[in-house]
Amino acid sequence: MERLLRNRWALVLGLALVLATLPLAFPSNYYFRVAALVNIFALAAIGLNLLMGYAGQVSLGHAGFMGIGAYAVAIGASRFGLHGIVAMLAGAAVAGLLAFLVGRPILRLKGHYLAVATLGLGLLISMVLTNEAGWTGGPDGMAVPRLELFGMRLRGPDTWYMISAGALVLGVILALNLIESPTGRAMRAIHDSEIAARVVGVDVAAYKLKIFVISAIYASIAGSLMAFLNGHITPDGTAGFLRSVELVTMVVLGGLGSVLGAIVGAAMLVILPQALTIFHEYEHLLLGLIIMASMILLPRGVIPSLLARLRGGGA
C-alpha cells in the first residue's frame, strides 16, 4: 500500500480512475459542482504545496493569484473579446509575471516575515479587484462569459467537472515530474538546509523564485476554472484573505510535501462545509472541531501521518 502511494504513476492512474468513476455515484448536478470545486481547489493547493511543503516557503496571499486568474477570464472575455482559453493563459502569464516581480524582494524574508509580506500581497490584489469597479464591478463582482469550445457553450457543472478533473490530473503529473527532477531536489534541499544547498552550488534565491512563479500559475489556472464554473465572481470569493487561509489549511491539513495530501485537504475543506450544513448553526463549530481533531490525531497532515502509520513508525 505504501509503495503504491509512493509510486507516481500508480498515484496518477489511481486518481484518474477515481475521478472518472465518481460521476457514476453523483445523483445530481449539485454533486458535480462540489466535486468540480474540489478539483479546482486541489489544483491550487498542489501548486501552493510545491512552495510550502517542498520548498518550505509560506504564502498567505495565494488566493490573490486565484483572483488574477478568475478576473482575467472575466475581463478578458467581456472587455477585450478574448477567447476564454486565451484569457486564461493571459491570466496565468500575468500571475506568473507578478510573482516574478514581487518574489525576488519578498522571498528574501523567512518564516513569519515572509508570511506577513505575502499576506500583504494577497490583500493588495483583492483591494485592487474591489476598488477598480470600472473594470471589475467592485465588491459585487462581475459575470463571466461562458466559455465556447468547438461551437459549444460550456456551462453545465458536469462538463466543468470533467474539465477540472483533466486539469487536476495534468497538474498532478507536472508536480510529480518536478519533484523528481533536479529542480525538485534543489527545492527540497532548500527546505532542509539553505546553507548546505548553497555550498553545493544551488542558487537558492533563483529556485525560490521559480517555485513561487509556478505555484502562482497553478493558483491562477485554478482561479480561471472557478470563474468558468461559477459564471459569476467576486473579489472576496476568489482573492479574499479567507480564501488564502483556506488554501494554506488545505495544504497543512492534507499534508505538507504530499501531492495526494493537497488533494485530500482540498476535498475535506470543500466537502465538509457542504456536508455539515445539516447541522445548521453548529456547522462552523463542527468544522473547526474536525480540523482541530485531524491536526491533533494526524499531526503531519492526513497523508504523511497515515503513511507513517502504515510504515509502522506511528505518526
Judging by beta carbons within 10 Å of its beta carbon (0-12, 13-18, 19+), is residue 290 exposed, middle or buried? middle
Our finding on whether 192 is near other proteins (CB under 8 A) is yes
Which residues 226-265 are close enough to bind other proteins by CB under 8 A? 257
**Does residue 7 interact with other proteins by CB under 8 A?**
no
Least Å from the CB of residue 191 to other proteins: 7
Output 20 or 196, the one with its CB closest to other proteins: 196
Can you point out the beta strands (E) in the chain? 142-143, 147-149, 152-154, 232-233
Among 188, 249, 272, 273, binds other proteins (CB under 8 A): 188
Q: Nearest distance from residue 308's CB to other proteins, in Å?
A: 11
Q: How far is the CB of 184 from other proteins (least distance, A)?
A: 7
Residue from the set 35, 72, 94, 189 that interacts with other proteins by CB under 8 A: 189
**Which residue from 195, 182, 185 is spatially nearest to 54, judged by alpha carbons?**
185
Q: Which three cell numbers stand for residue 158?
A: 458536469
Among 111, 149, 193, 279, binds other proteins (CB under 8 A): 193
Residue choice 26, 123, 132, 191 for contact with other proteins (CB under 8 A): 191
Total residues interacting with other proteins, rule: CB under 8 A: 28
| Grid coordinates given for 221 | 489556472
| Rounded Cα–Cα distance for residues 13 and 148 (Å) | 29
Nearest to 172 by CA among 90, 96, 262: 262
Nearest approach, Cβ of residue 175 and other proteins (Å): 8
Closest CA to 157 of 17, 248, 11, 27: 27
Q: Among residues 33, 62, 208, 210, which is the contact residue for other proteins, using CB under 8 A?
A: 210
> Which of 27, 151, 182, 314 contacts other proteins by CB under 8 A?
182
Residue 200 contacts other proteins per CB under 8 A: yes
CB-CB contact of 231 with 144 (8 Å): yes
Instruction: Give the residue from 97, 75, 53 showing the smallest Cα distance to 262.
Output: 53
Coil, helix or strand at residue 257: coil
SS3 of residue 7 by DSSP: coil
Distance CA 155, CA 143 (A): 13
CA–CA gap between residue 273 and residue 206 (Å, rounded)? 39
Of 288, 188, 297, the closest CA to residue 245 belongs to: 288
Measured between its terminal Cα atoms, the distance across the chain in Å is 17
Contact track, other proteins, 68-107, x by CB under 8 A: ----------------------------------------
Figure out which of the listed residues 183, 238, 294, 305 binds other proteins, where binding follows CB under 8 A. 183
Site string for other proteins, 162-181 (x = CB under 8 A): ------------x--xx-xx
User: Residue 265 CB, nearest distance to other proteins (Å)?
Assistant: 19
Q: From the list 93, 109, 143, 204, which residue makes contact with other proteins (rule: CB under 8 A)?
A: 204
Residues that bind other proteins (CB under 8 A): 174, 177-178, 180-186, 188-189, 191-193, 195-204, 210, 214, 257
